[in-house]
Structure 1
Amino acid sequence: MIKPSRNGQGIQVEIPAQPRKEPRQPRSIALVSAVKQTGRQILENEGREALSAMRLAADSGVAISSIYEYFPTIDALIAAIFDDYRSEARTALFSDIMALPAQSTLRDGILLALRVVMAAHVKKNQFDPAFSVRSTHYEELVRLDVVKDKPLWTSTASSALMQRFASEIRVKDPQKAEFLVYQTLSALPRAMLLERPGYLVEEDSPELIASMLHALLTHGQT
Structure 2
Amino acid sequence: MGKPPKDQEHHDADPALIPLGMPPQPRKQPRQARSIALVEALKQAGRQILEEEGREALTALRLADVSGVAISSIYEYFPAMESLIAAVFEDYRREAGEQLLAAIDALPEAATLLDGLLLVLRRGLAVHHRKSCLDPDFSERVTRYDELVRLDLVDSRQCWSAGATPALFERFAAQIRVKDREKARFFVYQTLLTLPRAMRLERPHYLVEDESAAMIARMLHGLLTSEA
Q: TM-score, normalised by structure 2?
A: 0.90
Contact 2:206 2:212 survives alignment (8 Å): yes
8 A contact 2:100–2:164 mirrored in 1: yes
Q: 2:37 aligns with which of 13, 21, 30?
A: 30
- State the distance in 1 between where 2:220 and 2:58 align: 39
Q: Select the residue among 41, 49, 69 that pairs with 2:56.
A: 49
Percent of pairs with identical residues: 60
Corresponding residue for residue 183 of structure 1: 190
Q: By how many angstroms is 1:153 displaced?
A: 2.8
Asked if 1 retains the 8 angstrom alpha-carbon contact of 2:93 and 2:159, the reply is no
User: How far 1:140 moved relative to its partner?
Assistant: 0.6
The unaligned stretches of length 5 or more in structure 1 are 5-11
Q: 3-state SS of the aligned residue for 2:107? A: coil
CA distance in 2, matches of 1:185, 1:149: 17
Aligned amino acid, residue 74 of structure 1: M
Q: Tell me the number of residue pairs that the alignment of Structure 1 and Structure 2 aligns.
A: 214
Per the TM alignment, residue 3 of structure 1 is displaced from its structure 2 partner at its CA by 4.3
Which of 179, 188, 198 does residue 172 from structure 1 map onto? Answer: 179
Q: Post-superposition shift, 1:204?
A: 0.6
Unmatched 5+ residue regions in structure 2?
1-13
TM-score (normalised: structure 1) = 0.92
Higher relative contact order (CA 8 A, sep 6+): 2
In the other structure, the counterpart of 1:88 is 95
Paired with 1:99 and 1:35, the residues of 2 have a C-alpha distance of: 32
Does the alignment pair 1:61 with 2:77? Answer: no
The 5-angstrom pairing of residues 1-222 of structure 1 reads 3=16, 13-220=20-227
Task: Return the offset for 1:139.
Answer: 0.4
Evaluate the alpha carbon distance shift between residue 78 and residue 182 of structure 1 in structure 2; reply closer, same or farther with a 3 A threshold: same
Distance in 1 between the 2:23 and 2:60 partners? 19
Say whether the 8 Å CA contact 1:93–1:116 is kept in structure 2: yes
Preserved CA contact (<8 Å) 1:34 1:60: yes
Q: Which runs of 4+ in 1 moved over 6 A?
A: none
Asked if the contact 2:178/2:227 (under 8 Å) is kept, the reply is yes
Give the residue type in structure 1 aligned to 2:222.
Answer: A
Query: 1:154 is paired with a residue of what secondary structure?
Result: coil
1:176 Cα deviation (Å)?
A: 1.4
Root-mean-square deviation (CA, aligned residues, Å) is: 1.6
Q: How much does 1:13 deviate?
A: 4.2
TM-aligned CA deviation for residue 94 of structure 1: 0.7
